[in-house]
């Protein structure tokens, strides 16, 4: 009888198909176990995000004109920089000083330009 059922299984191809559900269940259980092990572990990060730092970006733009409005009563200077860059056309700064040498030095430092170039480009307007 065993010979009849074995040949009958071979004829239907069931020798291959019958163990497949068992293999699938073993594979599923082992993958579930491995995933549970990985997900239960705690990971510590080496680098943490710091939100209290400021990002400093340096741009190299072609400056066309610098207008500085010096307000003597409030002791501030409002600066408008016009550039030839199509993305950054205008840049505004506000400085807590009204002395021309400090204004030029700060503009030169912020824009990364030589101080002589800033002196040629800046136009002052005194506001009382």
Cβ atoms 118, 127 nearer than 8 A: no
**Cα–Cα dist 89/91, whole Å:** 7
User: Burial code of 81-115, b = ≥16 C-beta within 10 A, e = fewer?
Assistant: bebeeeeeeebebebeebeeeebbebbbebbebee
Residue with tokens 């400056």: 63
| Confidence grade of residue 59 (pLDDT, cut at 50, 70, 90) | low
Mean pLDDT for the chain overall? 83
Tell me the pLDDT tens digit for each residue of 69-128: 999 999 999 999 998 888 888 989 999 999 999 999 999 988 888 999 999 999 999 987
Distance of CA 49 to the CA centre of its chain: 12
Its pTM surpasses 0.85: no
């Amino acid at each position: 009888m065993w010979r009849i059922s074995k040949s009958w299984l071979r004829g239907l191809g069931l020798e291959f198909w019958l163990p497949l559900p068992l293999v699938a269940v073993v594979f599923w259980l082992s993958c579930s176990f491995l995933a549970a092990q990985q997900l239960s572990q705690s990971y510590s990060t080496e680098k943490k995000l710091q939100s209290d730092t400021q990002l400093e970006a340096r741009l190299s733009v072609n400056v066309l004109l610098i207008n500085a409005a010096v307000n003597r009563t409030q002791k501030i200077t409002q600066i408008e920089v016009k550039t030839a860059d199509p993305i950054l056309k205008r840049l505004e700064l506000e400085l807590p000083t009204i002395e021309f040498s400090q204004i030029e030095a700060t503009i030169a430092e912020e824009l990364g330009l030589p101080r002589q170039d800033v002196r040629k480009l800046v136009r002052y307007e005194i506001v009382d």
